[in-house]
Structure formats: C-alpha cells, structure tokens
Chain A
C-alpha cells in the first residue's frame, strides 16, 4: 500500500481535494480508475503529462552538493525534534570547517526559526534560487516562517499544498556546498514525511535521527515512525531520549518526570535492533534559550545537559561518517 501512495507525487494545482482512493494525478491510471468517476479533477488528471516527475532531476542536482542529509523524526509531537535539530545545527556549526544547513519541514507549526533566533528574517530570491537565511557564517536555514506576512498567520493547508512547498524547498533553495543538511519534520507519518523521503530518494538520505521521550505514550508513536522508516527505506541512525530525568536546581534531587516504565528509549532501541545514542535530561535553561534563540551549548557549556547533547551529536556523527 505504501509504495502505491509513495509513488504518488501529488499535484498542487487540482481545484478540489482528491477522493479517498485517488490513484494520484501522475499515476498511469490518473483519471481512469474507479475512484475518478465523479471526481471534479477527472478531466485535468486525464490530460496531465504522465511519467516520472520532471522536477526530480532538478532536486537531485541541488542536493548533489550536500554531503550528508539527516532527517530528525519522531511520531510524537513536543518531544524535542526542533530543539534537537537546533542543538545539532549549533554543535556542528561550532566547527568552522563545516558548512551546515537546517531545513524546517513543519509547515503548520514552524519552530526552528525562533529557536535559531531568526524568526523575523525574510527570504531573498535570486536567479540561482532562494537564498537561505544565515545565522552565522556557516549555518543557513530555511523555513516557511520566513514566507509568512505575520508571525501568527495560520497555514491552513491540505497535504497536496504542503507537498508543493516541500518540493520547492528541495528544488529552489540555493544551499551551495554543504557538509550537513539537517531536516526538522512535523510529528506523524503523513504527507510531509512521504514527500520528503520520496523526493530525496535518488539524492539519498544518510538516515534518520529518532527523538523520543521516556514514557510509553510517546514510545507508542515512535514505534510507528520507525515502522515508517522501514517501509520508506530510510536508515535509522539512532534513537535519542529527551526529557529523561530532571535535576532540581535548588536541592540537586533527581526526579523522573516522564517515567520510563517500559524501559524508555534504550529498551526500545534494543527491541528494534537500533543504536541508542544517549539521553538528555530536562533543563529549564534549554527551553529558555530556545525561546530567546540563543545557543544553549554556548551559554551553559558546563551543564550536564550540554555534555549529554554533545555526546549524542558525537555518536551521531560517528554513525554517519562510518557509513562512507
């Protein structure tokens, strides 16, 4: 079922939403299958050019200059995907010899610009494409936030429209030469995830970093995301457990706020035969520095959370670079 859905490159110009069993506007059966009878898009679909997506070679050309592409995934929301993406970007960009890009695919709730302290920037287009917003000399980023008229404008888009934007991000952003492209994703296993893995299939994704929190309610959704990675053929680089334990700044006593009753991220990694990259404790200063768009790693280099994050980043880099 996945491959059928996966091959479907949804067209953004259809006037009405596709019916439930739509074969996909670019499939061989577009306009001809049973589901097409009575669909308002039928005529358009029938007349669309068939065959492979003409944009794919353009995407491949863009991404050819990027050495490593890493997805940050989690089935669950609010576990720290964006936080970790920002940490990973800061940590990698601390090495002046590396060029880093961060891309935010969360269309309905983009948080990365705020965390990297650049939410009021806008994007410039030139004849070589859209220029990313640069946070430092070697760290650029792209997000839908930069395209919004107001900070709180809602993006009420169906999947097909989101896919169009993701395609544009991959096709039109002029990253230049990059060592790492870190891609932040929304929660779930739906349009955004299918599109990005689909469009990047030929260019190649190094793998996915899975973020979870210790409690079973989160692990339940994370299992689904790992299942998705298997189906979509994306390698899982490892699992990181966020928000594991909290050390009271007043008395130093530790509390498990989100209890790992089923063994947390580490057990899950073992169960699934995946690498466990480490766990990061809760620290109120992480949230605060994300809100102010500053690098937690620079502000509090001596904190235990900072050490934990850097250990995870190192483990992740080892995993990525051992591949090549």
Chain B
C-alpha cells in the first residue's frame, strides 16, 4: 500500500509533550502549501492528537473495496490523515491495549490504508522506544521510500537525555536521522518583548553538534500557535491554502 508514496518521514522523540504532533502538523501544512500531496499517519494509539490538531475530530474512516479510506482535510484532497482517534466512539474513550494489539493495529494501518499517490507520508509517533516503534520499524524495514526521521526535542537536559535514547534507537533500526528540531526554545513576553528561556536553551543544538547530526533549527514558544489549534474551525476558514 505504500508503493505510490514518494517519501516517508517519521517524527520521533524519546520525550513526550515536546511537540512531535505540532511539528508534524506544521510540516504537513507547509508541504501542502508548497503544492505537495501529503498524508499523515498517527501511530500514537493511546493518545492520538492528530484529529484535533487539524480540526477534523468529526472525521470518519470509510471502508472501500481496496481498504480504509483516510480522512481528507478538505475537498482538494491534498492532505489525508489516518489516526486511531477517528475509530473511537467517543473522544473520551480510552484505548487500553497491550503491545501485541498495538502492533496489530499498526500493521493494519500500514497494510490496509488506501493512500492515493502521495509526495510525502509523515508518521507521527508516541514517546518512547517500545511496541509502536518496533512495529513501525519492522513494517517499514524493506521500504525503499523511507527517507528517515525528524527528531524533536525541547532544550532542557531532562528531555535531551530521552532524545539521546531515541537517537540510539534510530541507529539500531537503521532510520537515518534527517535532523533535530529544538522546540519551545524561548518565549518572548508579549508585554515587554523580553525573551525568557522557560525550558532553558541551546540543548538541541549542542546535542546535534556533539553527535554530528544536522540541526534543523529552533522554534520559540508562541501562544498563537496553540490558540490556532484550540480555535479549531475558525483557523480552518482563515487558511487559504
């Protein structure tokens, strides 16, 4: 099912809440704006955020004769999203699954989702280096179109330590690290324009340098970004892409 996809990129981080889903969202929207066709696969099964991030929580997956049809962001069909969030009856329902069941679901996502031709497939992952990660690494093992992984971190040491573990994982399963993104790097006070490093600063860049990995850049904290997600559909209307 992945044959007609040109590039597969994973978004990884050992740490939770550093902005994997936010980075995935922004990457997807930016690529769509540049005219590419993009698919987003959310393999965070116990805490799927993608439907909310794109403001399509109401979306439903349909079954066609060829497989599962992903949810399209709009009629132009340039952005398709697949997430377990679409399969839940109620948004508050928990998915309490042990590893084997998660592995099975990911396999199904890879085998059964009917992506049309895509330029990019972005895979958003949960934190850690466990079942979901092993499963996706196994499924993508023989795919020639896997480009590698974008690793997201926040600047503080506690996060850097977990990210080191994730980089170690990438090495073991042969995912090429395309680069590191340092998220939540500094916050500019809207009242006085003073920049405060809430979660310290520079950690991601130093890590990239010490491991000789490309550093893709640092992204400051901007409450507007959160607001856009929180406001859901209003944002969608103002989006001219």
Contact = CB atoms under 8 A, between A and B. Distances in A.
B46 A75 contact: yes
A231 B221 CA distance: 36
A13 interface: no
Interface string A151-194: 11111111110100000000000000000000000111111011
Contact of B93 (A78, A157, A227, A253): A227
Interface string A255-290: 111110110000000000000000000101001101
A291 B157 contact: yes
A235 to B, nearest CB: 16
A114 interface: yes
Pick the most buried of B103, B169, B226, B231: most chain A CB atoms within 10 A of its CB.
Answer: B226
Contacts of B99: 17-18, 158-160, 190-191
Contact of A152 (B133, B161, B198): B161
Pick the most buried of A162, A188, A213, A232: most chain B CB atoms within 10 A of its CB.
Answer: A188
B130 A152 contact: no
Contacts of B94: 75, 189, 224-225, 227-228, 231
A143 B75 CA distance: 50
Interface residues of B, number: 65
B230 A261 contact: yes
B145 interface: no
Chain A residues touching B, majority SS:
loop
Given A76-B47, A187-B47, A261-B230, A111 B162 contact: yes
Contacts of B49: 217, 220-221
Contacts of B172: 154, 156
Interface string B206-241: 000000000000000101001101110000000000
Nearest to A195: B98
Interface stretch (B1-9, B11-19, B34-42, B65-73): B11-19
B96 A259 contact: no
B87 interface: no
Contacts of A217: 21, 49, 52-53, 229-230
B223 A78 contact: no
A262 B103 CA distance: 33
A261 B16 contact: no
A186 B128 contact: yes
B108 to A, nearest CB: 9
A17 B97 CA distance: 15
Given A17-B103, A111-B162, A189-B97, 19 more contacts: A79-B16, A108-B127, A108-B165, A109-B165, A152-B168, A156-B133, A156-B172, A162-B130, A186-B16, A187-B47, A191-B99, A194-B98, A216-B52, A217-B21, A227-B94, A231-B94, A255-B189, A258-B226, A287-B158
26 contacts: A5-B96, A5-B97, A5-B101, A17-B100, A19-B100, A77-B47, A78-B18, A82-B158, A108-B162, A114-B158, A155-B129, A156-B129, A157-B129, A158-B134, A187-B16, A189-B94, A194-B96, A216-B230, A228-B96, A249-B194, A253-B190, A255-B189, A255-B190, A257-B198, A261-B231, A291-B158
7 nearest A-B residue pairs (beta carbon): A77-B16, A78-B17, A159-B99, A253-B191, A20-B104, A108-B128, A152-B164
Interface of B: 14-18, 21, 46-47, 49, 52-53, 91-104, 126-131, 133-134, 154, 156-159, 161-162, 164-169, 172, 187, 189-192, 194, 196-200, 221, 223, 226-227, 229-231
Interface of A: 1-2, 5, 8, 10, 17-20, 22, 75-79, 82, 107-109, 111, 114-115, 151-160, 162, 186-191, 193-194, 213, 215-218, 220-221, 223-228, 231-232, 246, 248-251, 253, 255-259, 261-262, 282, 284, 287-288, 290-291
